[in-house]
Amino acid sequence: MIRLFSLLLVFAAVSFPQQTPTAQRLIERAVEIHKAEANVKFTWREEQEQVHSDGKGGWQPVFKRSFDVIMLQGDTYKKLVLLDGKPLNAKTQKKVDADLAKTREERKKQQKSSVLRKRLSVGDTEQLLKLFDNKLAGEEVVEGRATWKVESEPKVGITAVTPAEKSAMSSRRTTWFDKEAGVPVKRIDLTIRVNDGFQPGTEVAMTYAPLREQWLMTSLIARFDVKFAKVVRVRGEDRHQMLDYKRFEVESSLKPE
- Domain boundaries of the chain, sorted by first residue: 19-247
Q: Give the pLDDT mean for 197-214.
A: 93
Q: What is the DSSP letter of 202?
A: -
pLDDT tens-digit series, residues 33-45: 998 888 888 999 9
Is 43 exposed, middle or buried, given 0-12, 13-18 or 19+ CB atoms closer than 10 A?
A: buried
Residue 18: its pLDDT value, please? Answer: 60
Residue 123: its pLDDT value, please? Answer: 44
State how far the Cα of 47 lies from the Cα of 105, in Å rounded to an integer. 27
Helix (H, G, I), strand (E, B), or coil: what is residue 231? coil
What would you report as the CA-atom Rg of the chain, rounded to the nearest whole angstrom?
A: 22
- Residue 203 — pLDDT band, cuts 50, 70, 90? very high
Question: Do 197 and 211 contact (CB within 8 A), yes or no?
Answer: no
Task: Phi first, then psi: give them for residue 99, nearest 5 degrees.
Answer: -65, -40
Partners of residue 135 on adjacent β-strands = 151
Q: Kindly tell me the sign of the dihedral angle through the C-alpha atoms of 51, 72, 218, 169.
A: negative
Pick among 2.50.20, 3.40.1130, 3.40.50, 1.10.3470: CATH of 19-247 = 2.50.20
For the cut 70, the answer to whether the pLDDT of residue 2 exceeds it is no
Task: Phi first, then psi: give them for residue 205, nearest 5 degrees.
Answer: -120, 130
